[in-house]
Amino acid sequence: MMGEGGSMDSTPIRAAEFFAGIGLVRTALQRVKGAQVQVVWANDIKQAKRDAYVANFPDAEDHFLVRDIREVKTPHLPAGIELATSSFPCIDLSLAGNRRGLVGEQSGMFWEFAKILKWMSPRPSVVLLENVHGFATSHKGDDLAAALRSLSDLGYSLDVFAVDARHFVPQSRPRMFIVGIQKGNLPGNARFDVPPVSDVRPAWVKAIHEKHRETLSMHYIKLPDLPEGPRDLDGFVEEEVSPGAWWEDDRVEAFVKSLSDVQKARFQALLTADTISYRTAYRRTRQGISMWELRRDGIAGCLRTTGGGSSRQALVRLGRGSKAVRWMTPREYANLMGAHDYKLVAGTTNQQLFGFGDAVVVDVIEWIGNHYLVPVLRPDSTASAE
């Protein structure tokens, strides 16, 4: 986009965050290259999330609206929004949830977001949606089809892809993304055939494109290969914690006792190794019995919102004959979400853990911003930055 006299357009990209949470989307968008992204409006239903957001972004004091999205009206939004992001609730879509899909009380909030888009004038040039892989299979794919159809009817051409955060941080966190671009703003490199299989478009994503390309407005843009990602927790573990954070011997022994025989063998091998290593562990209910499971690799499992038996992960330090176990800290949750510099100054420990478990990984959104959003919204700025 060129400015007056042929100069490059340096106008900030005006963005709105729906289901903004604690602000990790904004954290990511502020890091993108080639253009400034200015979040001018944000919304979430939880006051605790708003408090954490504003503690990190004080200017949001005036534009963060704490309100049920069902009560949000278009006059609440400022004019000129080019990018709208939506990480709507996943609980009804997740394989670990109730699978009620888009008729569920939580994930059904997608329809409220779509309703707001419908009445925005002009509509954002680009929308970015994020959710769990279970969105693709909910009600045998009918939920995703309905969501894509609603966005297509609003004038958006749609791309679907998937990114696992383990390519950026030591956390297994697979997520699917939908990018909608108003048809008049599609870039020249947009393709309208079926995308080839790649690390961001595995076979199941390709199948989504194949299924809907004849009936809906679908496109794809070639994206670079994802980085390999870290293989252990080095640099993500909080080295200095309060003395009482590590569990006492009897609790550690109870932890070990709850492990299965396979898990105990894994624990023992790490315990007797010549080097110190870290593993994460989480509780599972097997045949009605609560058991701890030690992760096989050196990265964390998917961080979840606190409030369930398997929701909070423990950190296990083993090697040279020594063993120690404790709960993971909010700072470690922040690090694993790519938010090393995030200020933990608002909310209780559980509220902080909940906020990160309910958020997006900063590095993933930054990568999407650099390779997809900014090139579409400010193509000339991107070209000049390369």
pLDDT digits (tens, 9 = 90+) for 205-224: 999 999 999 999 999 999 99
Closest CA to 166 of 221, 224, 223, 232: 232
Inter-axis angle of helices 142-153 and 203-212, nearest 10:
50
DSSP class of 369: I
Q: Identify the sign of the CA torsion 161, 167, 168, 173.
A: positive
CA distances from 181 to 17, 84, 124 (A): 17, 11, 8
Q: Which residue has the tokens 């696992």?
A: 164
Strand-strand pairing, 156-164 and 83-86: unpaired
The three-state secondary structure class of 234 is coil
CATH 3.40.50.150 domain extents, the chain: 4-229+360-385
Low-confidence ranges of the chain (pLDDT < 70): 1-9, 89-108, 306-310, 381-386
Q: Is 127 exposed, middle or buried (0-12, 13-18, 19+ CB in 10 A)?
A: buried
pLDDT of res. 109: 81
pTM comes to 0.92
Angle at 122 between CA 377 and CA 220, to 5 degrees: 40
Closest CA to 144 of 155, 156, 158: 158
CATH code given to domain 4-229+360-385: 3.40.50.150
Please state, in angstroms and rounded to a whole number, the distance separating the CA atoms of residues 342 and 27.
9
Please state, in angstroms and rounded to a whole number, the distance separating the CA atoms of residues 386 and 384.
6
pLDDT of res. 289: 82
pLDDT of res. 386: 45
DSSP H helical ranges for the chain: 24-29, 47-56, 110-119, 134-137, 142-153, 203-212, 249-258, 261-271, 330-336, 349-357, 362-368, 374-377, 379-385
Strand-strand pairing, 126-131 and 156-164: unpaired
